[in-house]
């Protein structure tokens, strides 16, 4: 186990396919249920370590039938809908 310095920031993607509107809403709610909610991860949970706060920055949706149904895929934007969070 290698500890990580406090206040270290990570950037990651969550990839999903075929979620209903309800399932997508549930996923987003689980990432940040309340403003001050912190997830507990790692080996040091019993000692108060491993507390992380997730801050989603955006939602980028791909309409695969639209994107890959075109004869020239390079002319079709990758994301069909982009939403940025504050």
Give the pLDDT confidence of 44-55 residue by residue, as tens digits: 888 878 899 999
**Does residue 86 carry a pLDDT above 80?**
no
Q: Tell me, what's the pLDDT at 57? A: 92
pTM of the model: 0.74
- Contacts of residue 39, defined as CB under 8 A and 6 or more positions apart, other chains included, come to 51, 52, 53, 54
For 5-63, the pLDDT digits (tens) are 989 999 999 999 889 999 999 999 999 999 999 999 888 888 878 899 999 999 999 88
Q: Which residues contact 43 (CB under 8 A, 6 or more apart)?
A: 1, 49, 50
Angle CA 65–71–72, to nearest 5: 100
């Amino acid at each position: 186990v290698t500890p990580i310095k406090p206040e270290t920031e990570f950037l990651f993607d969550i990839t999903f396919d075929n979620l209903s509107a309800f399932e997508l809403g549930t996923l987003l709610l689980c990432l940040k249920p309340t403003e001050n909610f912190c997830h507990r991860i790692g080996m040091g949970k019993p000692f108060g370590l491993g507390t992380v706060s997730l801050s989603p920055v955006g939602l980028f949706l791909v309409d695969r039938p639209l994107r890959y149904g075109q004869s020239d895929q390079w002319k079709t934007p990758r994301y069909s809908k982009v939403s940025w969070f504050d």
